[in-house]
Each structure stands twice: as structure tokens, then as C-alpha cells.
Structure 1
Amino acid sequence: MGFFDRKAKCSVCGKETGLNRYRIADKRWVCPSCFELAGFTKVKPLDKPIQKMTAIEIQEIIEKNGEFDQEIGPEANKRTTALLRSAKKQLSDEKIMYWVYGVYKTKSLGNDTIRNGLFIATERQIFFYAERFTGFETESFPFSNISSLEIGKGLTGHKINIIASGNKSEMYGINYGQVDQFVEYARSKIGKSSSTPFAPVSVDVAEQLRKYKSLLDDGIINEEEFIAKKLELLKL
């Protein structure tokens, strides 16, 4: 079967697909729908080239993504789903309980900075995640450090203020996510410490981890090498 044959059968869903199909291992094909359900995009580099993936591997990814879609809820659109998937990689074994998406305002070098991103409530913390041109940015607010959480609503959407360790962090323009559930859940957890407390991570270690994560994303090091370096830096 040649590449320019008009029709081929998708090895994942079994449906016929046209020329916009994708070649996978064993000279088989996958249709655009299954390609998208697996979380692949034409512009985002894959951890493993799709040409080397089997139909079974892609099906497993689709099933796993289906479970993740249930975890994040129906409020997520294509953009926020992609962000939540990326954020999940930084959360390790923590489950996403509730989330909101808006404009995060904080101070950097004495100046106000704003960026679009997520507030994610887990069992341990409120976790901020945003993508940057060269990578990503995160910030952690352990529930044990939060003294209060304020909510309001303006013309641009909801606003949430987190008061933690004497500092205020603000997200406004919130029009996506589970605002009411997020606030109710977060308030129920405020002041409570996790049964598995966070190990303090210095700024230098955090920067090193970001550097090695970037090397992993670029394919310069593999997953095993990244995990080994992460354990070494965190002294686990």
C-alpha cells in the first residue's frame, strides 16, 4: 500500500482514512481523529516519533487520556486540556481536584508581571502553571501556608486572591474552569498540612531541574537520565 493510496484503514479505530493519515510502526496508519485523541499535534514534538509507535501503544495513550479527561472535567477546552496535561507532568502523583484558568498577577523584581495560566487545586496545594516561550513556569502554594482565599467577580470574569505567608497572589479574568468547586475545596483545605510534606527546594535546585527537564523535552537526555538527575538534586 503506497502513501498516496486514496483510502487506508486506521489501525486504532478501524475506520477508513484519507491522505491526511499518519504512518505508524509496521507500515500501518492512524487517522487524524485518533492522532488528536492521543494528544498529538503537528507542531508539538513527540516523546517518541509516531512512526515508531504501534497501534496498541496509541490505543493505550487514548485510554489514559480518556481517564485524564474525566479527572479534569467537561469544562476544559482544547487549550486548557493541553495546559492541564503539561501541568500534570509536574505534579507527579498528585491528582487534579479542581482548576481555573485566568490572568495571573504577581511581582517580579519589584514590578508587576502578568501571564495567562492555571490555578490547580490538589490534595496538598494550589499549584500555578503557565507556559512560556522557552518552557514553563510554576509556583506552589501549600495549603498549610495559605491563610485566606478571596473571590470576587468583575466585567472580565471571576477573581481569586490567595493570601499566603503574608503575600497576596491574584488571578483575574477567570472564565474557564470550576470556580465554585475550586474555591469551596481550597477553603476546606486552608491551614491543613499534607500527610506527605513538601521537601524544601532551593531556587538553584529548581532552576537545575528546569534545565534538565528542558533537555528531556528536547530529546538530549532520556527519561531515565532525567529521573536519576532529579533524585540526585532533591537528595531522595
Structure 2
Amino acid sequence: MGIFSKEVCIICEKDVGLSRTRIADGKCICPSCFKEAGFDKLNNITKPIKQMTVEDIRNAIIAQKVNKSDLDSFNPTKRIGNYVEFDDNNKKWLILSSILGKRNKSTVYEYSDIVDFELLEDGESVSSGGLGRALVGGALFGGAGAIVGGVTGKKKTTGICSSLKLKITLKNINNPVVYVNFIETDMKKNGTIYKNAYKMAHECLSVLELICNQQQPSSELTSQQANSSSAADEILKFKQLLDMGVLTPEEFEEKKKELLKI
């Protein structure tokens, strides 16, 4: 069919006009249904439009309606900067608009959607955690309450950070990963903006860790907390030996990596 031939939308059965969008099997959808499916927002397109079936489009429209209902009932109990909001009463969370910190176009997720998470600075892992494992590289929860250094120990120290983002893996095969972008341009690490962004990123890590802990069976959580506390206590002991000159810095780092399993 030519571009000027008359066609109807496979969803609403109205004339698509000239602004048609072609999907699988040569079918097309109108601009109104395209927008209703959320495809005007790039992060909602999970695969090429031309490969999408009629069922894909209808499911996307239903998902957008459900999300709108979730947004209408979303009542944040905690907000971290202009980045993330949590509704602890309904066990839901969302990522705010990176421009104005608005939630009107956000996607609402369940606490139970979270699989794991990782803080990335300039592409390298700083901290990580999730279901079935303790937070590594951030605050180690437990009796000692210690804060241990970065995960890899391989990152070259520079005075500039170009990217700081939180990668969150979800239980969604069509949209398995979302990002919270704290820094997207060059920032001096000794500056106030970087320090505030870094602080909020770690606050978000702590909240996600608590959420994941809530999703785990109590016996598993108790075991994990015990392991985290034990690791923190051991690291503190080795730090004392380092301060006493019994261990070299290299030996201390090796012991710390061994305990954190990194």
C-alpha cells in the first residue's frame, strides 16, 4: 500500500491519515494509539515498532492505563532529591523526571520488582546489592555498622566524575533494567554538587537494600545480616592490625577483598 492510500488503525479502527506507524504484518496504528501505548516516550519502547504485534500494542496500552492509575494513587513517604520517590505504604517506587523532578510521566514499580542494583561511577562498580546478597561497597548493616570502601579497588582516582548512575535490575523481561542518573556531565569531586549527588546515591542504595531485605524470608535475612556483621567485624580487626603496623596496606586490602568476596 502507498503512503497516500487510506488505511485504518488496527487498534481503534479510525483513519490513520498520513502520520501512520507501521507494525508487524504490515498493520499500522494511528498517532493517538501510538501515544496511548506510551511510545512517544523512548524508554517505553522495548523492541522495534515494526516487530510489534497487535497484542504487543494492546498490552502496552493496558500497561499505560494501569500505570496512570498507580500514579494517581501514588503517595510518596520518602523522596531522595529530584531522583526517586518511595511509597512505603503501598510498597511502590518510581524514578522522577531527570529534568524537573516531576512524577507525572514516571513508571510506577512494585518493591517486589527489584532483583538487584549497582552504583556505577564512570562505568565502574562502586557498590552493589540485591535479593539474596548483602550490600557491598556501601554501608554494611549489622552490629559494627561499618562503612567499607569501594568494590573493585581498580578505579583510577581522578578529580572529575562524568557519570554517576544507579542501575536497577527488574523482574520484567521486556524492561529488565532502569537507571537513576545522578550525574551526567563532568563534575569536580571536591565540589558541592558531586558530594550531594554521591550522598543521595548512597542513601538510595540503603533504601533499596532495606526493600530487598523485606522481600527475603526471615531465616535467609537473619543469616545474611549475620554474615554482613561478621565481615564488618573482621575488617575492623584487620584495620586495627594495619594501624599497629602488623599488616601492610597491601595485606589489609587483600584481606578486605577476601571477606567481601570481590
Taking structure 1 as the reference length, the TM-score comes to: 0.40
Q: Which of the pair is proportionally richer in strand? A: 1
Taking structure 2 as the reference length, the TM-score comes to: 0.37
